Amino acid sequence: MNPPIPLFFAFSLALVGCLVTASVNRADDFSSDESETTLKARYESMFKIGVAASPFLLKGPLADHVKRQFNSLTPENCMKPEALYRGDGNYNFREADELVNFAQANGLAVRGHTLVWHSQTPRQFFCDEQGKQLGKDALYNRLEKYMTDVLTHFKGKVYCWDVVNEALADGGPILYRTESPWYKICGKEYIAEAFRLAHKIDPDIKLFYNDYNLINPVKRDRAVAMLKELKDANVPIDGVGMQAHWDIGSFNPQELQNSIDAFAALGLEVHITELDMSVYSLYHGPDNEKRNQSMAQKTYTPELASLQAEKYAEAFAVLRRNAGKVTGVTFWGASDRFTWLNHFPRPGRKDYPLLFDDDNQPKKAFYRVIEF
């Protein structure tokens, strides 16, 4: 019989060895440690963990990183009308197909983004062959043709779509974004029309309304008013996409909870569709100097990384509590190297909004998100 003390000692040594190995892997060599916890594994029982990307990025180390961490993929740009539409009946599906093939080959679900939007839709979509603006009926005919062709092309390959994107105005007396060509030609009814058409064409896909700033109480109330009207009119809508372009200065977890509650009370699923946590907070006031300061480049110090990790931890604590109401969480980019925030609002100003650094290595925020 083995004496108990050496056994305990050997076990302790082994344990220390494991912990040391794990911490070395975390710090230095994350990508090569296949046993390390991944986002998708940690959240498997709660909701999908997605990422937005373009097909040209899905190569080499970034492709491996995406396959390893995520189980849902959103086309960042290549399924927008600007990318697909080439005049009635003509499409460029090349990039979108490449992205879908990647997803299918690697077991990722695809979130379609987006069918009806005022932005990244060619001007010709709203005009006849002479360049004259279409009337409502002609635009609905074009929309039906476009949606039929696109939804049929991706049938069985895209499980949900952002049917309408950013139709609401941020403020003002009218709920809707009145400068949108959709609103100008059709009034608010284009929103219901788009959902009805999508459901008629493919009743199997989940249909979402997607917008930004939805944890802002004013915008949330506007969204609730619009969505309630749609639900009351039996418009087929399954969920609301909260874009979640948050920042470390203003993110408020209680407001996130309030919005999830408000949307779930309407019987809607919630997807977090475009998550990032900028290290910059935009200053909207009249003081030019303050504005310039808020636009200045920051160094990503350990303190900033810790603060960002804290905000991500707060956000995911809320999301975990609401698993079931929240059915998908998608990051708007796979690493800090490829984030739209490196080009917006000031081109060339580096941001650090995601869980992985420029080299796909996990940041403090990553560990806070998987620690629970």
Active site residues: 166, 274
- The Cα-based distances of 196 to 205, 238, 299, 362 in angstroms read 12, 12, 48, 42
Chain position whose Cβ is nearest to ligand G3I: 340
Q: How far apart are CA 40 and CA 266, in angstroms?
A: 28
- Residue 25 found at the interface with ligand G3I (CB under 6 A): no
- Residue 202 found at the interface with ligand G3I (CB under 6 A): no
Interaction pattern, residues 264-293, with ligand G3I; x per rule: CB under 6 A: ----------x-------------------
Residue 30's identity, in one-letter code, is: F
- The Cα-based distances of 271 to 94, 286, 313, 370 in angstroms read 27, 35, 18, 19
What are the DSSP calls for 118-134, one per residue? SSSS-GGGGB-TTSPBP
What are the DSSP calls for 84-148, one per residue? HBSSTT-B--HHHHHHHHHHHHTT-EEEEEEEE-SSSS-GGGGB-TTSPBP-HHHHHHHHHHHHH
- Residue 76 found at the interface with ligand G3I (CB under 6 A): yes
Nearer to ligand G3I, 37 or 181 (CB): 181
The owner of tokens 């929309």 is: 143
How many other C-beta atoms lie within 10 A of the C-beta of residue 8? 10
Q: How far apart are CA 341 and CA 347, in angstroms?
A: 8
Q: How far apart are CA 139 and CA 286, in angstroms?
A: 40
- Residue 77 found at the interface with ligand G3I (CB under 6 A): yes
What are the DSSP calls for 254-270, one per residue? HHHHHHHHHHHHTT-EE
Q: Which helix (H) or strand (E) holds 221?
A: helix 217-232
Nearer to ligand G3I, 198 or 309 (CB): 198
- Residue 243 found at the interface with ligand G3I (CB under 6 A): yes
Q: How far apart are CA 368 and CA 246, in angstroms?
A: 17
- Residue 247 found at the interface with ligand G3I (CB under 6 A): no
Q: Binding to ligand G3I (CB under 6 A): which residues in 329-348?
A: 340
Residue from 21, 92, 120, 152 that binds ligand G3I (CB under 6 A)?
120
Where on the phi/psi map is residue 131: left (φ > 0), alpha (ψ -120 to 50), or beta?
Answer: left
Binding footprint of ligand G3I on the chain (CB under 6 A): 76-77, 119-120, 212, 243, 274, 340
